[in-house]
Amino acid sequence: MSDERAAGHDDASALLSAAAAWRDQDPDDRTRAELDALIEEARAGHDASLADLRDRFATRLAFGTAGLRGALGAGPNRMNRVLVAQAAAGFAAFLLGREREPSIVIGYDGRTNSDVFARDTAEIMTGAGVRAIVLPRALPTPVLAFAVRHLDVSAGVMVTASHNPAQDNGYKVYLGGADAGSQIVSPVDAEIARCIDDAATRPIGELTRSDDYRESGDDLVGEYVSRTAALAGTSATGRQPRVVYTAMHGVGWEVARRVFATAGFMEPIPVAEQSAPDPAFPTVAFPNPEEPGALDLAFATADRVEADLIIANDPDADRLAVAVPTSDGWRRLSGNEVGALLGWRAAERARAADADGTLAASIVSSPALREVARRYDLDYADTLTGFKWVSRVGGLLYGYEEALGYLVDPDKVRDKDGISAAVDLLALATELHTAGSSVAEHLVAFDAEFGAYASSQISVRVDDLDRIAALTARLRQSPPARVGTHDVDHVDDFRDGFGDFPAGDVLRYWFTDGSRVIVRPSGTEPKLKVYIDSSSTEGDAVARRAAAEASVADLDAGMRALLA
The residue-averaged pLDDT of 453-459 equals 95
* 316 pLDDT above the threshold of 70: yes
State the DSSP string of 332-390: EPPHHHHHHHHHHHHHHHHHHTT---EEEEETTS-THHHHHHHHTT-EEEEE-SSHHHH
Q: Which of 164, 153, 145, 195 is nearest to 388 (CA)?
A: 145
478 is catalytic: no
Query: What is the Cα–Cα distance from 77 to 491, expressed in whole angstroms?
Result: 37
Cα radius of gyration (the chain): 25
Per DSSP, what are the bridge partners of residue 451? none
Q: What is the pLDDT of residues 321-331, one digit of tens each?
A: 999 999 999 99
- For position 356, what pLDDT does the model report? 97
* 5 pLDDT above the threshold of 60: no
Confidence bin at 502 (pLDDT 50/70/90): confident
- For position 10, what pLDDT does the model report? 55
- CATH code for the domain defined by 451-563: 3.30.310.50
Task: Tell me the C-alpha to C-alpha distance, in Å, between residue 161 and each of 67, 365, 408, 531.
Answer: 10, 23, 23, 24
Confidence bin at 353 (pLDDT 50/70/90): very high
Query: What is the Cα–Cα distance from 179 to 196, expressed in whole angstroms?
Result: 21
Query: What is the Cα–Cα distance from 187 to 192, expressed in whole angstroms?
Result: 9
Query: What is the Cα–Cα distance from 380 to 371, expressed in whole angstroms?
Result: 9
Count Cβ atoms within 10 A of the Cβ of residue 39 and give its class: 0-12 exposed, 13-18 middle, 19 or more buried: buried
68-71 vs 396-401, strand pairing mode: unpaired
Fold exhibited by the domain 335-449: Alpha-D-Glucose-1,6-Bisphosphate; Chain A, domain 3 (3.40.120)
Would you give the distance in Å from CA 42 to the centre of its chain?
Answer: 38
Query: What is the Cα–Cα distance from 301 to 295, expressed in whole angstroms?
Result: 10
- For position 127, what pLDDT does the model report? 98
pTM for the model: 0.94
Q: What is the pLDDT of residues 73-95, one digit of tens each?
A: 999 999 999 999 999 999 999 99
* 8 pLDDT above the threshold of 60: no
Q: Which of 294, 305, 292 is nearest to 250 (CA)?
A: 294
Residues, the chain, total? 564
The residue-averaged pLDDT of 393-406 equals 97
* 303 pLDDT above the threshold of 90: yes
Helical packing angle, 3-25 and 29-43, nearest 10°: 160
Phi, psi at residue 295, to the nearest 5°?
-100, 10
Mean pLDDT of all residues in the chain? 95
Q: What is the pLDDT of residues 142-173, one digit of tens each?
A: 999 999 999 999 999 999 999 999 999 999 99
- For position 6, what pLDDT does the model report? 40
Enumerate long-range contacts of 536-542, CB under 8 Å, 24 or more apart.
Answer: 536/451, 536/452, 537/451, 537/452, 540/448, 541/444, 541/445, 541/447, 541/448, 541/452, 542/444
- For position 504, what pLDDT does the model report? 87
Instruction: Enumerate residues 6+ apart whose C-beta is below 8 A from 327.
Output: none
Helix runs in 506-563, H state only: 541-563
Phi, psi at residue 257, to the nearest 5°?
-65, -35
Fold exhibited by the domain 63-216: Alpha-D-Glucose-1,6-Bisphosphate; Chain A, domain 3 (3.40.120)
Q: How far apart are the first and last CA of the chain?
A: 47
Q: Which of 103, 114, 154, 162 is catalytic?
A: 162
Count Cβ atoms within 10 A of the Cβ of residue 444 and give its class: 0-12 exposed, 13-18 middle, 19 or more buried: middle
Q: What is the pLDDT of residues 164-205, one digit of tens each?
A: 999 999 999 999 999 999 999 999 999 999 999 999 999 999
- For position 294, what pLDDT does the model report? 96
- For position 1, what pLDDT does the model report? 42
* Type of residue found at 47: D
The boundaries of every CATH 3.40.120.10 domain in the chain are 63-216, 221-330, 335-449
Check if the beta carbon of residue 407 is closer than 8 Å to that of residue 389: no
For residue 446, give the 3-state DSSP assignment: helix
Cis peptide before 187 (omega within 30 of 0): yes
What torsion do the CA atoms of 281, 161, 507, 530 make, to the nearest 10 degrees?
A: 10
Query: What is the Cα–Cα distance from 430 to 323, expressed in whole angstroms?
Result: 15
Check if the beta carbon of residue 150 is closer than 8 Å to that of residue 111: no
Q: What is the pLDDT of residues 238-264, one digit of tens each?
A: 999 999 999 999 999 999 999 999 999
Kind and range of the H or E element at 20?
Answer: helix 3-25
Check if the beta carbon of residue 421 is closer than 8 Å to that of residue 410: no
Task: Please report the sign of the dihedral spanned by the C-alpha atoms of residue 117, residue 121, residue 127, residue 133.
Answer: negative
CATH number assigned to the domain with residue range 221-330, chosen from the 4 options 3.40.120.10, 3.40.50.12160, 3.50.50.60, 3.30.540.10: 3.40.120.10
Instruction: Enumerate residues 6+ apart whose C-beta is below 8 A from 470.
Output: none
For residue 120, give the 3-state DSSP assignment: helix
Q: Which of 112, 208, 117 is nearest to 158 (CA)?
A: 117
Check if the beta carbon of residue 368 is closer than 8 Å to that of residue 453: yes
The boundaries of every CATH 3.30.310.50 domain in the chain are 451-563
Check if the beta carbon of residue 252 is closer than 8 Å to that of residue 418: yes
Per cent of the chain over pLDDT 90 is: 92
Task: Please report the sign of the dihedral spanned by the C-alpha atoms of residue 164, residue 112, residue 87, residue 318.
Answer: positive
How many CB atoms within 10 Å of residue 278?
Answer: 19
Check if the beta carbon of residue 121 is closer than 8 Å to that of residue 213: no
